[in-house]
Amino acid sequence: MKTPFRTAVLAIVGKDLRAEIRSRELLSVMAIFAVLCILVFSFALELDRGAREEAISGVLWVTLVFASLLGFNRSLALEGDQGNLDAMLLAPVSRSAIFFGKLLSNYLFTLIVALVILPLMTVIYNSNLLKGWLILTTVVGVFGFSSIGTLLAMLTLHTRSREAMLPIAMLPVALPLLLTAVRASTNILNDAPAREWLLWLQLLAAVTLIYLALCWLLCGFVLEE
Amino acid sequence: MMRSFLPLVSLKLARHSTCGEENGRNCPSDSKKITPFDGSRHSIHTSFVGATYQVARVLGRSRWITALKRTNGTVLRQYRTSLLIPILIFASVILAQGDQDTVPYIQSSAFNAPLLEGWNNQSGDDFAQFHSAEDHATIRTALVEIDEPVAAAASDLRRAFGFDLEEPIYQDKVNLADGTWNVLLYEPDAVASASVMARRAGSQTVVISFVESDPEARILMLAIAQTGDTREDAATEIDLALSLLASNNAADLVETTALSLPSGEWTRVVGDGFLAMGMVFGNDSYIAVGEGEAESLPKLADAYNRSVLGFFVTPDNSGYLALALTASFAILALLILSYFWRSRNIQKDLQLIESLNQTDS
Amino acid sequence: MTAKTKVLSLRQSAEATPMPALLKLLTIVTLVGFCITLVLGLLVAGTDIQQGEIQRIFYIHMPSFFGAFTAFGLTVVGGILYLWRKSEGWDRIALAGVEVGLAFALINLVTGAIWARPIWNTWWTWDPRLTSAAIMALTYAAYLMLRAGIEDEARKRSFMSVYGIFAFTSVLVTLFIIRVVPETIHPVIVGASPQNAQGGFEATSGVVMALIPSLLLWLTLMPITLIWHRVRIERRLEAVNRLKMQILSE
């Protein structure tokens, strides 16, 4: 008999959290990478006040995507290398439970990184990023990236040179998410009226939902032996 | 297939002639940028749907498919089928040719000039010329093999009208989207006057001239650049033009009216003994001044400025077309060659396996 | 099945087989159609007096995008049906769709760039539509790279089916991006052009006359014929590879 879906998902999330609390391997790498990214961008783009307002949401999302790529690769590689994934596949849980467990833990870690860099960027770029709607956009967008990223990380797990493959596979597919998320957050940051960004936020939510549904339908095929 | 839906599409599109006067667009002033396709959007859609439907219907009824099923390929060997191919090519060529665009333009080998309706068309191979007998007026566009605009203008006027020109009575330059034009006004004799716009085009010069020889009237046309930061209205510019021509004075202005013509929105002023029109378009003002019995000034000003604003040279970029076609064919050829290459490799591998097998046994 | 009969049957399926009659017909019709559309576009249709001869490349540029659309669409169909039926044939169609579609997408990009040079005075600009079209091509290049990177056959097939389905979003983004991102300069010929589109021309009856046959050809016959031929080669290729494995394992 199979373990109930919710129990299985929570067990996997719990396992990842416990492992993370003990090793602090994943979050620290992602966070340090994200902070470095922000600093490098501010030097590389020589952001003055005008350019900053234009580029800031782009910097935010590119940083988040790169940091999450790093995290997804690492988190799945840990599962794969130590035979954890095979063990989970042997356990009487549904495939989608494994997928959603990994998705949720990946999402949690990326979200924590996002919530760290938002106040950090507020300080470094001297522009208020801690707006309710922007945080909502981040919460939704990061979920979209996490779902597609987790699926593709499972897919690239078995390829040669998987570290290089995940960005190549994920960045083009994540384009609709990136496009809508950057549009929405630029307009929110510039204090534009709601009608200018609400559509983008809705589009982002719609794309996220579509990707989530696709991932849910297709994760079974990716998690075969 | 093609035969069945092409007429349908052409029918739908036939009523959307390109420069659509019926929907109130003014062609010549728009023609620097050919009007974006908007009015016919709907009908393209419907004809797409219609065409697809027609194709589906023809395919559904078609004996091709059933015959193919029944004969299992022998249909290919029937020579009648191959007869269809030239017929198909012929039909589509005829159909496509019968329905070319209808831009009202004179297309010479070197340039395009708007066709002036209602004028007597005297155009030749390398020039466009329109004459109106009742107005004693001629509008001429020509390409002259002289690269100095003032000399080119004089030479063209001499060749076309036999004028022996001295110094122009007025001379200036304006910058339009396609280059710097020289504005020249001449009065070759007591009755005739010539207004010329000339621009260098490579080693040649484009000369667009308006020549009028009405004994009752004297008509001049010119373009002036709007200088300064603020854009002046047409009435002020007419005033300026009058002072430039040193003929009349703004104090004589009696009546100002707006006038909408195919070439644009004009302002008309009536003064003591003269009539003037002005239009502000882009960074320039186009002015026409008539003295004496110049009732036909709106018609003439409209026609001349349509010729000036509507003139353009079709760029020669067939080299790029050749490059693009070569690139497309190269990519397709690479794809198809890769098929042959892979197929040959398979064959080689099979032969290798075969020979290995034979040495084994 | 004994090893010997297996080798025999593999060798048989690796041999070139005569083309089915329908494929022959398709190939001939496609070739003839291609010539007709070339004649229509290059000789019969009038020269655009604004843009000059280069406007004729439009009769290849736009149809090639729609050809890529069909090919990548077949990849999605092939992917879904492979995941459902687990029949290798569907996966071959998906792979062939990617290769043919990628070639078409490249034609689309290259002709667009060459057109842009005289009309926009630049080979390339980071316009939303151009960018998304380039990313679309890169997505499918990534497909081929990923595919080459997975060793296990069955895993490769199902993984690439999944990726082929996701990759189609880049096609949809390219198709619809001008509707959502208005600041593009790419002209739209059918439908309303964006405010700042540059280099549009009028879809006069002459243009439509040359465009519709070309569009229909690239949308249907060209990708289907090319994919079919590619699928036949892929089947033989797989048989040869298995034959090699079989002989090596003996």
> For residue C151, what are the CA distances in angstroms to A156, B274, C147, C148, C165?
12, 90, 8, 8, 20
Confidence of residue C218 (pLDDT cuts 50, 70, 90): very high
Instruction: Enumerate the residues of chain C whose CB falls inside 8 A of the CB of residue A203.
Output: 180
Structure tokens at C215: 């569009």
pLDDT at A46 over 50: yes
Please check whether residue A125 is in contact with residue A55, taking contact to mean a CB–CB distance below 8 angstroms. Answer: no
**Do the Cβ atoms of B217 and B292 come closer than 8 Å?**
yes
Chain A residues closer than 8 Å to C142 by CB: 168-169, 172
**Which string of DSSP letters, residue by residue, matches C223-250?**
HHHHHHHHHHHHHHHHHHHHHHHHHHH-
Closest in C52, C197, C237 to B316, CB measured: C52
Return the CA Rg of chain A. Answer: 18
pLDDT in tens, A170-184: 998 998 899 889 989
pLDDT tens digit string along C164-188?
A: 999 998 899 888 877 676 667 787 6
C172 to chain A, minimum CA–CA distance in Å? Answer: 9
- Contact between B34 and C189 using a beta-carbon 8 Å cutoff: no
Check CB contact under 8 Å for A172 and C142: yes
CA distance B44 to C203: 9
What range defines the domain where residue A42 resides? Answer: 5-222
User: What pLDDT sits at residue A151?
Assistant: 93
d(CA A133, CA A196): 13
| Dist. CA A79–CA A93, nearest whole Å | 16
- Give the pLDDT confidence score for residue B8 in this predicted structure: 33
Q: Is B111 helix (H, G, I), strand (E, B) or coil?
A: coil
Q: Which residue of C has its CA nearest to B110?
A: C49
**Which of B13, B68, B88 has its CB closest to that of C208?**
B13
Q: What is the pLDDT of residue A204?
A: 92
Smallest Cβ–Cβ distance between B346 and the set C49, C50, C236 belongs to C236
Distance (Å, whole) CA C104 – CA C220: 13
Which residues of chain C lie closer than 8 angstroms to B320, CB-CB?
Answer: 53-54, 57, 114-115, 117-118
Nearest to C142 among A169, A203, A218 (CB): A169
Are chains B and A in contact at 3+ CB pairs closer than 8 Å?
A: no
Q: State the total domains in chain A.
A: 1
Q: Does C54 touch chain B (CB under 8 A)?
A: yes
Q: Which residue has the higher pLDDT, B332 or B317?
A: B332
Residues A64-92 pLDDT 10s: 999 999 999 988 888 888 888 888 888 88
Query: Per the CB < 8 Å rule, is C159 touching A222?
Result: yes
Residue C135 in contact with partner chain B when CB distance is under 8 A: no
Q: Which residue of B has its CA nearest to C109?
A: B328
Mean pLDDT of A35-48: 82
The reply to whether residue C22 touches residue B349, judged by beta carbons under 8 angstroms, is no
- Could you give the CA distance from residue A85 to residue A104 in angstroms, rounded to a whole number? 16
Q: Both tokens of residue A202?
A: 């809705």
- Interface test with chain C among A89, A99, A155, A216, by most C beta carbons within 10 Å: A155
Sheet with B284-292: strands ordered across: B217-225, B284-292, B274-281, B264-270, B255-261
ipTM value for the complex: 0.92
Pairing of strands B193-201, B204-212: antiparallel
What are the structural domains, with CATH classification, of chain C?
3-249 (1.20.120)
Q: Write b or e for each residue in B217-254: b if 16 or more Cβ atoms lie within 10 A of its Cβ, otherwise e.
A: bbbbbbbbbbeeeeebebbbbbbbbbeebeebeeeebe
Closest residue in B to C248 (Cα) is: B353
Q: CB of C193 within 8 Å of any CB in chain B? A: yes
How far is residue B174's CA from residue B197's CA, in Å, rounded to a whole number? 9
Where are chain B's structural domains? 2-97, 105-310, 320-361
Q: What pLDDT score was predicted for residue B68?
A: 47
- Which among B14, B92, B356 has CB closest to C213? B92
Looking at residue A67, its pLDDT comes to: 94
State the Cα–Cα distance between residues C99 and C102, nearest whole angstrom.
5
Cα separation, A15 vs A3, in Å, equals 16
Average model confidence (pLDDT) across chain C: 87
Task: Specify the residue for token string 């439009």.
Answer: C58
